[in-house]
Amino acid sequence: MRITVETTIKAPIRIIWDAWTTPADIMAWNAASDDWHTTSSTVDLRPGGTFRSRMEAKDGSFGFDFEGTYTLIEPLRRIDAEFGGRVMTVIFEDGPEGVTVREEFDAEEIHSIEQQREGWQAILDRFRGHVERKVR
């Protein structure tokens, strides 16, 4: 099953793209809630290149690596990647209300579809907030 989350951001596409693909920015926004954070991030933005983000609970109780391989890069438009046997597509679509960022990804079997959707949407909402603070 595929899950889709999206948000629209009032910012230039270049700033949005850079915030999505720059490790320092990723560390600033990549968490579903305030009690989590990303402690490290690497990005090799090219087909065959890899990405990795270390996500940890701030109390040190749990952490995990989110990592994968880019399979398609269309600058300012689309990123496809594989992670843990699953596939993810991120679309950046410029429109009259701003740039819509849409993530589509294969569901995993441990958490419910709703939990996955809520978690990924929360991260995407934090991304929007991060970008909007950058352009103020």
* pLDDT digit string, tens, across residues 13-67: 999 999 999 999 999 999 999 999 999 999 999 999 999 999 999 999 999 999 9
pTM, rounded to two decimals: 0.94
List all residues 6 or more positions away from 135 whose beta carbon is below 8 Å from its beta carbon.
10, 11, 12, 15
- Tell me how far CA of residue 62 lies from CA of 7, 59, 102, 103, 120, in angstroms: 28, 8, 28, 25, 18
Mean pLDDT, the chain, whole residue set: 96
- Say what the pLDDT of residue 131 is: 98
Cα–chain center distance at 135: 19
The pLDDT tens digits for 59-105 are 999 999 999 999 999 999 999 999 999 999 999 999 999 999 999 99
What structural domains and CATH numbers belong to the chain?
Answer: 2-135 (3.30.530.20)
Residue whose C-alpha is closest to residue 105's, from 126, 77, 84, 125: 84
